[in-house]
Amino acid sequence: MSTIRPARPVEAVELTALCLRSKAHWGYDAAFMRQSRAALTVTEAMISSGRVLVAETAAGRLAGVAAVARLDECGRFDLSLMFVDPAAIRTGIGRALFKAAVRLAASAGGTSLTILADPFAEAFYRRLGAVRIGEAPSDAIPGRMVPLLEYTINESRS
Protein backbone atom coordinates (compact mmCIF):
# COMPACT_ATOMS: atom_id res chain seq x y z
CA MET A 1 0.00 0.00 0.00
CA SER A 2 1.23 3.51 -0.74
CA THR A 3 0.34 7.01 0.35
CA ILE A 4 0.15 9.95 -2.04
CA ARG A 5 1.30 13.20 -0.45
CA PRO A 6 2.89 16.53 -1.40
CA ALA A 7 6.62 16.32 -2.06
CA ARG A 8 9.04 17.97 0.35
CA PRO A 9 11.82 20.28 -0.93
CA VAL A 10 14.43 18.12 0.80
CA GLU A 11 13.38 15.22 -1.50
CA ALA A 12 14.37 16.96 -4.77
CA VAL A 13 17.62 15.02 -5.31
CA GLU A 14 16.01 11.68 -4.44
CA LEU A 15 13.07 12.39 -6.76
CA THR A 16 15.41 13.32 -9.60
CA ALA A 17 17.19 9.98 -9.12
CA LEU A 18 13.81 8.21 -9.20
CA CYS A 19 12.91 9.95 -12.50
CA LEU A 20 16.24 8.93 -14.02
CA ARG A 21 15.85 5.27 -12.88
CA SER A 22 12.32 5.17 -14.25
CA LYS A 23 13.31 6.56 -17.66
CA ALA A 24 16.37 4.30 -17.89
CA HIS A 25 14.16 1.27 -17.18
CA TRP A 26 12.98 1.41 -20.80
CA GLY A 27 16.47 0.73 -22.18
CA TYR A 28 17.55 4.18 -23.28
CA ASP A 29 21.30 4.51 -23.82
CA ALA A 30 23.69 6.70 -21.82
CA ALA A 31 23.71 9.52 -24.40
CA PHE A 32 19.91 9.69 -24.39
CA MET A 33 19.87 9.74 -20.59
CA ARG A 34 22.44 12.58 -20.47
CA GLN A 35 20.30 14.63 -22.84
CA SER A 36 17.19 13.89 -20.76
CA ARG A 37 18.69 14.83 -17.39
CA ALA A 38 17.52 18.47 -17.34
CA ALA A 39 13.93 17.50 -18.19
CA LEU A 40 13.99 14.84 -15.46
CA THR A 41 15.38 17.09 -12.73
CA VAL A 42 13.07 17.87 -9.82
CA THR A 43 13.96 21.15 -8.14
CA GLU A 44 13.13 22.56 -4.74
CA ALA A 45 11.40 25.44 -6.55
CA MET A 46 9.10 23.01 -8.38
CA ILE A 47 8.24 21.32 -5.11
CA SER A 48 7.67 24.66 -3.38
CA SER A 49 4.99 25.46 -5.98
CA GLY A 50 2.78 22.89 -4.24
CA ARG A 51 2.12 20.96 -7.43
CA VAL A 52 4.49 17.99 -6.97
CA LEU A 53 3.15 14.76 -5.47
CA VAL A 54 4.94 11.62 -4.34
CA ALA A 55 3.87 8.05 -3.73
CA GLU A 56 5.43 6.72 -0.56
CA THR A 57 5.40 3.05 0.43
CA ALA A 58 4.36 1.89 3.90
CA ALA A 59 8.09 1.46 4.58
CA GLY A 60 8.69 5.15 3.79
CA ARG A 61 10.37 4.62 0.40
CA LEU A 62 9.57 7.02 -2.45
CA ALA A 63 8.01 4.97 -5.23
CA GLY A 64 6.73 7.60 -7.64
CA VAL A 65 6.42 11.27 -8.47
CA ALA A 66 3.93 13.35 -10.44
CA ALA A 67 3.64 17.09 -11.03
CA VAL A 68 1.22 19.39 -12.77
CA ALA A 69 1.81 22.90 -14.11
CA ARG A 70 -0.77 25.48 -15.15
CA LEU A 71 -0.57 26.26 -18.87
CA ASP A 72 -3.10 29.08 -19.03
CA GLU A 73 -5.99 30.75 -17.25
CA CYS A 74 -8.54 28.67 -19.21
CA GLY A 75 -8.04 25.58 -17.05
CA ARG A 76 -5.38 23.81 -19.09
CA PHE A 77 -2.66 22.06 -17.09
CA ASP A 78 0.35 20.00 -18.10
CA LEU A 79 1.40 16.72 -16.51
CA SER A 80 4.99 17.92 -16.23
CA LEU A 81 6.30 14.84 -14.39
CA MET A 82 5.02 11.30 -13.98
CA PHE A 83 7.51 8.61 -13.02
CA VAL A 84 7.29 5.38 -11.06
CA ASP A 85 10.29 3.58 -9.59
CA PRO A 86 10.95 0.46 -11.72
CA ALA A 87 10.39 -1.80 -8.69
CA ALA A 88 6.88 -0.34 -8.34
CA ILE A 89 5.77 -0.49 -12.00
CA ARG A 90 2.49 -2.41 -12.43
CA THR A 91 1.59 -2.16 -8.73
CA GLY A 92 -1.11 0.51 -9.08
CA ILE A 93 1.12 3.35 -7.91
CA GLY A 94 1.14 5.01 -11.34
CA ARG A 95 -2.64 4.92 -11.55
CA ALA A 96 -2.97 6.35 -8.02
CA LEU A 97 -0.45 9.10 -8.76
CA PHE A 98 -2.18 10.02 -12.01
CA LYS A 99 -5.56 10.26 -10.29
CA ALA A 100 -4.05 12.40 -7.54
CA ALA A 101 -2.45 14.69 -10.16
CA VAL A 102 -5.83 15.06 -11.88
CA ARG A 103 -7.45 15.96 -8.54
CA LEU A 104 -4.69 18.49 -7.86
CA ALA A 105 -5.24 20.18 -11.23
CA ALA A 106 -9.02 20.06 -10.75
CA SER A 107 -8.72 21.72 -7.34
CA ALA A 108 -6.93 24.63 -9.03
CA GLY A 109 -9.66 25.00 -11.66
CA GLY A 110 -8.20 22.59 -14.19
CA THR A 111 -10.38 21.31 -17.01
CA SER A 112 -7.78 19.39 -19.01
CA LEU A 113 -4.36 17.85 -18.62
CA THR A 114 -1.88 17.80 -21.51
CA ILE A 115 0.57 14.89 -21.48
CA LEU A 116 3.79 14.82 -23.48
CA ALA A 117 4.24 11.06 -23.17
CA ASP A 118 7.19 8.79 -23.53
CA PRO A 119 6.23 6.29 -26.26
CA PHE A 120 6.48 3.48 -23.68
CA ALA A 121 3.90 5.26 -21.47
CA GLU A 122 1.30 6.15 -24.09
CA ALA A 123 -0.77 2.97 -23.61
CA PHE A 124 -0.84 3.55 -19.83
CA TYR A 125 -2.30 7.05 -20.23
CA ARG A 126 -4.79 5.88 -22.85
CA ARG A 127 -6.04 3.16 -20.47
CA LEU A 128 -6.71 5.93 -17.95
CA GLY A 129 -8.81 7.89 -20.44
CA ALA A 130 -6.34 10.21 -22.18
CA VAL A 131 -6.66 10.57 -25.94
CA ARG A 132 -3.87 11.10 -28.43
CA ILE A 133 -4.17 14.51 -30.04
CA GLY A 134 -0.97 14.37 -32.08
CA GLU A 135 2.77 14.48 -31.65
CA ALA A 136 5.01 17.18 -30.26
CA PRO A 137 8.73 17.81 -29.95
CA SER A 138 10.41 16.12 -27.00
CA ASP A 139 11.25 18.47 -24.16
CA ALA A 140 14.62 16.72 -23.81
CA ILE A 141 15.87 15.39 -27.15
CA PRO A 142 16.13 17.80 -30.12
CA GLY A 143 14.44 16.43 -33.24
CA ARG A 144 12.57 13.67 -31.39
CA MET A 145 8.77 13.62 -31.64
CA VAL A 146 6.69 11.99 -28.92
CA PRO A 147 2.99 11.31 -28.39
CA LEU A 148 0.89 14.26 -27.23
CA LEU A 149 -2.19 13.29 -25.26
CA GLU A 150 -4.98 15.11 -23.50
CA TYR A 151 -7.05 14.08 -20.53
CA THR A 152 -10.34 15.86 -19.94
CA ILE A 153 -10.84 16.47 -16.26
CA ASN A 154 -14.25 15.29 -15.25
CA GLU A 155 -14.92 15.51 -11.52
CA SER A 156 -17.03 12.36 -11.57
CA ARG A 157 -14.18 10.13 -12.76
CA SER A 158 -11.21 11.76 -11.01
| Predicted confidence (pLDDT) at residue 144 exceeds the cutoff of 50 | yes
pLDDT at 142: 87
Model pLDDT for residues 74-100, shown as the tens digit of each residue: 889 999 999 999 999 999 999 999 999
| Predicted confidence (pLDDT) at residue 155 exceeds the cutoff of 70 | no
Q: Are 112 and 152 in contact (CB under 8 A)?
A: yes
> What does the pLDDT average to over 136-150?
92
HEC secondary structure over the chain: CEEEEECCHHHHHHHHHHHHHHHHCCCCCHHHHHHHCHHHCCCHHHHHCCCEEEEEECCCCEEEEEEEEECCCCCEEEEEEEEECHHHCCCCHHHHHHHHHHHHHHHCCCCEEEEECCCCCHHHHHHCCCEEEEEEECCCCCCCEEEEEEEECCCCCC
| Predicted confidence (pLDDT) at residue 156 exceeds the cutoff of 80 | no
Instruction: Report the chain's terminal Cα–Cα distance, integer Å.
Output: 20
pLDDT at 3: 95
Please state, as a whole number, how many other Cβ atoms lie within 10 Å of the Cβ of residue 57.
Answer: 17
Model pLDDT for residues 39-60, shown as the tens digit of each residue: 999 999 999 999 999 999 989 9
Identify the structural domains of the chain with CATH numbers, from first to last: 2-152 (3.40.630.30)
Model pLDDT for residues 94-138, shown as the tens digit of each residue: 999 999 999 999 999 999 999 999 999 999 999 999 999 999 998
Distance CA 108, CA 149 (A): 20
pLDDT at 74: 87
Model pLDDT for residues 5-42, shown as the tens digit of each residue: 999 999 999 999 999 999 999 999 999 999 999 999 99
Q: Are 79 and 106 in contact (CB under 8 A)?
A: no
What's the pTM? 0.92
pLDDT at 66: 98
pLDDT at 9: 97
| Predicted confidence (pLDDT) at residue 1 exceeds the cutoff of 80 | no
